[in-house]
Amino acid sequence: MLNTISLMNVDDIASHIDDGCRLAFPVDYAGVPMALMRPLLRRAPRNLSLVGVPTAGLPFDLLIGAGLVHGVETSAVSLGEAGAAPCFVRAISQGQLVMRDSTCPAIHAGLMAAQKGAPFATLRGLIGTDVLRHRSDWHVLQNPFSEIPDPVVAVPALQLDVAVFHAPMADREGNVWIGRRRELAAMAYASRRTFVTVERIVDRPLLDDEQTAAGVLPALYVHGIAKAERGAWPYGLWGEYAADTEALQRYARMARTEDGFQQWLAEAMA
């Protein structure tokens, strides 16, 4: 059974996100925990370092617009079909963010290194790119197993403080079904604490069912679960509901100006 520590509400999850937290959210199709945003904005932790796995969207834009973010590490920040992320664009153009530009493979490599307790992971595809030129924390090394020049890029471990995502279901033992969304497992493995919001909690043990077992994140990696129906809205959730494109587009229109963003935020927080 889920114990009293594991079964939470979204306010409880927000209470674990402190000033200076290195906080990760998943890409927009993999279970964005939008139900967390209202309590997190109310709590208003400062100087957050956000990590998008491997890209980022509306949650980043909201936290940036609210003035809570010190830095961002991801391979892209956008609202997808709704266009650019306006608060992010505004903050970058005004020099208000520390931007650690990355690539999707580099984000995953950093998470994999953190998962394994290794100081870094290596990639080749970054060599010759402008991204590498602007990342002083990435280093080109000679492959020690090669007798000819063979450079590789060392990407440091991407250790997270807190990772949060939304999933269709968890069972009463704390196991979470993530299906094919393996980036969610990578986040959890690389994070000191992982919290999950879910559409529902089921009675059957997910690891005992051959239909679900292969897509389960075990309870060992989950520090708290909160039930939040339609908790990814206005994003969609695979196998559950589609994204509300009109709601995302409305946000994109309003947030193009600071006044419009504040009006949208006041409505959302009311």
Mean pLDDT of 124-152: 96
> Are residues 132 and 153 in contact, defined by beta-carbon separation less than 8 angstroms?
yes
Q: What is the mean pLDDT of the chain?
A: 96
Mean per-residue pLDDT for 156-183?
Answer: 96
DSSP H or E segment with residue 264: helix 258-269
Q: Kindly report the number of other CB atoms within 10 A of residue 1's CB atom.
A: 8
Mean pLDDT computed over 166-171:
97
High-pLDDT (> 70) share of the chain, %: 98
Could you give the CA distance from residue 204 to residue 255 in angstroms, rounded to a whole number? 43
48 inside domain: yes
Nearest CA to 105 among 174, 35, 165, 55? 55
Q: How far is CA 134 from the centre of its chain?
A: 23
pLDDT tens digits, residue range 71-95? 999 999 999 999 999 999 999 999 9
Q: Are 174 and 198 in contact (CB under 8 A)?
A: no
Distance set, CA 126 to CA 53, 54, 81, 118 (Å): 18, 15, 27, 20
Same domain, 185 and 218: yes
**pLDDT at 3 exceeding the cut of 60:** no
The boundaries of the domain holding residue 147 are 120-156
For residues 91, 246, 76, 227, the Cα torsion angle rounded to the nearest 10 degrees is 100
Task: Assess if residue 2 is contained within a domain.
Answer: no
Residue 226 parent element (H or E): strand 224-227
Same domain, 140 and 30: no
Question: What would the two tokens of residue 65 be?
Answer: 């617009």
Task: State how far the Cα of 17 lies from the Cα of 47, in Å rounded to an integer.
Answer: 11
What are the backbone angles phi and psi of residue 267, rounded to the nearest 5°? -65, -40
199 close to 213: Cβ distance less than 8 angstroms = no
Average pLDDT on 159-170 reads 98
Write down the pTM of the prediction.
0.95
- 151 shares a domain with 20: no
Q: Is 5 a residue whose pLDDT tops 80? A: no
Are 56 and 29 within 8 A, CB to CB?
no
Residue 6 has a pLDDT of: 62
Confidence band for 7, pLDDT divided at 50, 70 and 90: confident
**Together in a domain, 151 and 36:** no
Residue 117: both structure tokens together: 């307790």
- DSSP lists the bridge partners of residue 232 as none
pLDDT at position 30 over 80: yes
Same domain for 57 and 132?
no
What pLDDT is recorded for position 198? 97
Number of structural domains found in the chain:
2
For residues 92 and 103, membership in a common domain is answered with: yes
Residue at which a domain ends, from 156, 181, 207: 156
pLDDT above 70 for 26:
yes
**Average pLDDT over every residue of 50-79:** 98
Predicted pLDDT of residue 1 = 46
Query: Which of 109, 107, 108, 74 is CA-nearest to residue 92?
Result: 74
Report the CATH number at residue 175. 3.40.1080.10
Helical residues (DSSP H) of 152-195, grouped into ranges: 182-189
Cα R_g (the chain), whole angstroms = 19
Number of other residues whose CB lies within 10 A of the CB of residue 138: 20
> For residue 59, is pLDDT > 60?
yes
The mean-pLDDT minimum among 27-31, 159-163, 208-212 falls in 208-212
187 has a pLDDT exceeding 60: yes
Are 58 and 111 in the same domain? Answer: yes
- Residue 270 domain flag: no
Q: Is residue 1 in some structural domain?
A: no
